[in-house]
Chains A and B, each alone.
Chain A
């Protein structure tokens, strides 16, 4: 199968408008006849459901949560980018585009990224109209802050709860449609398989988490907006239930998985405090507007941080990257932190942490201003670590956070399976090898509010697909597969809990497929993952049965999929024999330890095809840069 990105021809600035003009809309009278199934109520799925419902399509939306408002988007803290240039600091669509392409280390599509930048402003308008209380200045205008990888101030925010407020905006728009009867919402429904009939996506198999019942829903198109897969590392900043099941099951039904090894490690998280750790907590990138990262110059330093004078501190980001300093992009900052710790300059009990210090900002701006900007983050730090960051620096360390990889989609956000669309963090489309801060919220909402309502027509104008009976053999087969998988899990009756095995997988991933990767480590990882997967299927313990709310079954199903995805991530990292963005192959670095790309051989998207029991097949989509030139990323 060839990978056609379907990028429209013509000048970059006109592609999206022209494409929209060329897409024939479905007639209002016919819209109601099309049933669209959407999985996920986060920023991407929720906004798509609300908008498609409003347009008149027959929409059904699914989530495993008890409410649409709980989607993991709710946890986003720092902000959302938009090229509004309200600060008059020279921002523009072009600049946001360039920053994103460069931030992604030239591994994303120009046309997608440009469209994202172009749509960014509409999102802020939309959210404001919904009543999202973005931060304002005294004059009543919207306020901005800066995020990494940018020299302008274009990030909009609602205290440290931007994701929550944007999601509640989406949730209110969605609730309005549910109330009006144009969208039907199914909560506590876990999608466990995709139904593909005659090569097109026609439905989903879901399991009711309350009573265990397995059921199939049929539609004319399926949209997955199921979030990212960073929990493959076990410890990450994601919510505990975030998982890869929906996209992994679609992958096994034929959808290509693009750039799985592009996983982002966020530099500023609260370090683990022990083996009991169930998740890691992010300290938003926005803190780097006012916080300065440093380590003691002397690895044997014994003094508490407050007593270490400036001349004995190494503000390493400011030293290494004078022009971006503390606002260097995440991949760069994370590696710098790792380097400091590897050189023995780490601080804290484990020596696996660096300081993030607000003393200067507190002195300059006062406690009230700092509390207004970051109060909830400071409180969270205090609650978790039992140290008050108003009195001394935070201690932070990198943690898995976001996944740029995901299901392959074309410019219309359709996967290689006709009728299957993928939005938000679940797709691979816009961020290349590294996402810039405050750009995921932007992408999720652009996809759901402003892209899919147009591009879904490219598929639907072909006409309404044939009706399908619920006892279609493909449906029965998919339902049986799901039931058999669950039966198998229940029958193993071994000695390891799903969580215990997940933790082991996470360690393999973090040690070998984390911030630094090399050929030998990746090969070892593949072997180790295969071994642990074997252990999973022979030594797993799942209790009870599948006729009631049984969290152990739910967890076991997730871990089973992570066990397979983990191997694909390692394989992709092994095959991508270059460093780019967050993918750092130790064999490929400059003398200063920066990522060394190989544009001649790797300026492409790697899209993996599932191949039953054989090794997966790697397809390439070449990335053509017509409007920007390759450059070595420099934040110096």
Chain B
């Protein structure tokens, strides 16, 4: 197979970027999308040119590093799949493919296709945790948790922190990310005591980072490689409201 790529190249944060065309030949259908980019990069290096900078690590859909917008869709067109797990057999021979970074005001470009997602870390640092010191825990079976609740918490906990939700949202909102983390913790008995405090702290940080607010477009759910449901956003809003009223905030 061969493909025609239009790749976003940008030297650094402050230099404007642009699309550059590349032809890539010799592609096997069993190659992953990133292995196709490897071929391009190896050839660029041998020509003495800088390879296209893009992020990856695990290449199995779990670390959250990879972050490409392919033909306008964060992580490409296969539902529930990170770009590192998208294979070339899902493209047709000779196809035109445009590759851009995850675009959002709160994710500035570092180089080419790599963006700075440290805003997510700061949201977690603000409150995305349960306050428990090492060695303070009681026996794990002393609090029983119904399977249904544990499973639902796990559905929310699957978030890999890639930021596709933000890149897909017309408002660049981080609500799917935020609500997934807080729902996981709020659902579990261990996380309930800090529910409101956590929500307030995370929301405040989110606003400070410049993420927009959620106006129910649900583009986030559509691109989430872990298929995290927007119901967690609704749940978060309900929890937050209820807790605020109860605690008189």
Chain A interfacial positions (CB closer than 8 Å to B)? 47, 50-51, 54, 65-70, 72, 74-75, 84, 86, 122, 124-131, 133-142, 158-159, 161, 163-165, 168, 171-173, 175-176, 178-179, 187, 210, 239-241, 273-274, 276-279, 281, 379-380, 383-384, 386, 449-450, 453, 495, 497, 499-500, 541-544, 548-552
Contact B58 A549 (CB under 8 A): no
Which residues of chain A are within 8 angstroms of B62 by Cβ–Cβ distance?
A: 74-75, 161, 163-164
Contact A133 B154 (CB under 8 A): yes
Contact B110 A130 (CB under 8 A): no
With CB as the reference atom, state the residue of chain A lying closest to B31: A276
Contact A74 B134 (CB under 8 A): no
Contact B85 A128 (CB under 8 A): no
Contact A68 B121 (CB under 8 A): yes
Contact B60 A75 (CB under 8 A): yes
Q: List 20 A-B contacts (CB under 8 A).
A: A51-B134, A66-B117, A74-B58, A125-B140, A126-B132, A128-B137, A131-B191, A134-B140, A138-B147, A140-B144, A161-B158, A173-B132, A179-B125, A210-B110, A273-B31, A379-B80, A386-B30, A541-B46, A543-B51, A552-B45
Return the contact of A126 from the options B39, B85, B135 (Cβ within 8 A).
B135
Return the contact of A276 from the options B38, B46, B128 (Cβ within 8 A).
B38
Contact A72 B64 (CB under 8 A): no
| Known A131-B188, A176-B129, A497-B45; contact A72-B57, beta-carbon cutoff 8 A | yes
Contact B134 A449 (CB under 8 A): yes
Which residues of chain B are within 8 angstroms of A551 by Cβ–Cβ distance?
A: 51, 53
With CB as the reference atom, state the residue of chain B lying closest to A187: B118
Contact A549 B53 (CB under 8 A): yes
Which residues of chain A are within 8 angstroms of B150 by Cβ–Cβ distance?
A: 133-136
- Given the complex of chains A and B, what is the CA–CA distance between A224 and B42 in angstroms? 32
Q: In the complex, what's the smallest C-beta–C-beta distance from B180 to chain A, in angstroms?
A: 11
Return the contact of B60 from the options A122, A175, A380 (Cβ within 8 A).
A380
Contact A380 B138 (CB under 8 A): no
| Known A449-B134, A544-B50; contact A273-B28, beta-carbon cutoff 8 A | yes
Which residues of chain B are within 8 angstroms of A449 by Cβ–Cβ distance?
A: 134-135
| Known A70-B63, A239-B57; contact A278-B38, beta-carbon cutoff 8 A | yes
With CB as the reference atom, state the residue of chain B lying closest to A499: B42
CB of B77 closer than 8 Å to a CB of A: no
With CB as the reference atom, state the residue of chain A lying closest to B127: A179
Contact B126 A179 (CB under 8 A): yes
Contact B35 A74 (CB under 8 A): no
Return the contact of B154 from the options A86, A159, A179, A386 (Cβ within 8 A).
A159
- Given the complex of chains A and B, what is the CA–CA distance between A541 and B32 in angstroms? 25
CB of B11 closer than 8 Å to a CB of A: yes
Contact B57 A383 (CB under 8 A): no
Which residues of chain A are within 8 angstroms of B131 by Cβ–Cβ distance?
A: 176
| Known A72-B57, A125-B138; contact A172-B32, beta-carbon cutoff 8 A | no
Which residues of chain B are within 8 angstroms of A130 by Cβ–Cβ distance?
A: 129-130, 132, 190
Which residues of chain A are within 8 angstroms of B98 by Cβ–Cβ distance?
A: none
| Known A70-B63, A129-B137, A274-B31; contact A65-B57, beta-carbon cutoff 8 A | yes
Contact A240 B59 (CB under 8 A): yes
| Listed residue (A161, A276, A450, A552) with the most chain B CB atoms within 10 angstroms of its CB | A276
Return the contact of B45 from the options A159, A241, A541 (Cβ within 8 A).
A541
Return the contact of A175 from the options B31, B125, B184 (Cβ within 8 A).
B125
- Given the complex of chains A and B, what is the CA–CA distance between A497 and B43 in angstroms? 9
Contact B55 A66 (CB under 8 A): yes
Which residues of chain A are within 8 angstroms of B243 by Cβ–Cβ distance?
A: none
CB of B248 closer than 8 Å to a CB of A: no
Q: In the complex, what's the smallest C-beta–C-beta distance from B113 to chain A, in angstroms?
A: 11
Which residues of chain A are within 8 angstroms of B158 by Cβ–Cβ distance?
A: 161, 164
Q: In the complex, what's the smallest C-beta–C-beta distance from B188 to chain A, in angstroms?
A: 5
**Residue-by-residue, is B74-94 near A (CB-CB < 8 Å gives 1, otherwise 0)?**
000010110001110100000
Contact A384 B58 (CB under 8 A): no
Which residues of chain B are within 8 angstroms of A500 by Cβ–Cβ distance?
A: 42
Contact A497 B53 (CB under 8 A): no
- Given the complex of chains A and B, what is the CA–CA distance between A70 and B21 in angstroms? 31
- Given the complex of chains A and B, what is the CA–CA distance between A63 and B224 in angstroms? 26
- Given the complex of chains A and B, what is the CA–CA distance between A248 and B136 in angstroms? 36
Which residues of chain B are within 8 angstroms of A129 by Cβ–Cβ distance?
A: 130, 132, 136-138, 140, 190
Q: In the complex, what's the smallest C-beta–C-beta distance from B124 to chain A, in angstroms?
A: 5
Which residues of chain A are within 8 angstroms of B140 by Cβ–Cβ distance?
A: 84, 124-125, 127-129, 134, 142
Q: In the complex, what's the smallest C-beta–C-beta distance from A227 to chain B, in angstroms?
A: 11
CB of B145 closer than 8 Å to a CB of A: yes
Contact B129 A175 (CB under 8 A): yes
| Known A383-B81, A386-B89; contact A133-B134, beta-carbon cutoff 8 A | no
Contact A133 B117 (CB under 8 A): no
Contact A75 B46 (CB under 8 A): no
With CB as the reference atom, state the residue of chain B lying closest to A548: B12
Which residues of chain B are within 8 angstroms of A75 by Cβ–Cβ distance?
A: 58, 60, 62-63
CB of B153 closer than 8 Å to a CB of A: yes
Contact B124 A136 (CB under 8 A): no
Nearest 8 Cβ contacts at the A-B interface: A140-B144, A172-B129, A129-B137, A179-B125, A125-B137, A128-B140, A273-B30, A133-B153
With CB as the reference atom, state the residue of chain B lying closest to A54: B133
| Listed residue (B50, B58, B138, B190) with the most chain A CB atoms within 10 angstroms of its CB | B58
Contact B184 A131 (CB under 8 A): yes
- Given the complex of chains A and B, what is the CA–CA distance between A500 and B43 in angstroms? 11
CB of B111 closer than 8 Å to a CB of A: yes
Return the contact of A140 from the options B46, B128, B138, B145 (Cβ within 8 A).
B145
Which residues of chain B are within 8 angstroms of A131 by Cβ–Cβ distance?
A: 129-130, 153, 184-185, 188, 190-191
Which residues of chain A are within 8 angstroms of B128 by Cβ–Cβ distance?
A: 172, 175
Q: In the complex, what's the smallest C-beta–C-beta distance from B153 to chain A, in angstroms?
A: 4
Which residues of chain A are within 8 angstroms of B42 by Cβ–Cβ distance?
A: 497, 499-500
Q: A240-B59, A495-B46 are in contact. List 5 more A-B contacts (CB 8 A).
A: A70-B63, A126-B132, A133-B150, A173-B129, A549-B111
Which residues of chain A are within 8 angstroms of B49 by Cβ–Cβ distance?
A: 543
CB of B218 closer than 8 Å to a CB of A: no
- Given the complex of chains A and B, what is the CA–CA distance between A278 and B42 in angstroms? 12
- Given the complex of chains A and B, what is the CA–CA distance between A544 and B41 in angstroms? 13
Which residues of chain A are within 8 angstroms of B125 by Cβ–Cβ distance?
A: 175-176, 178-179
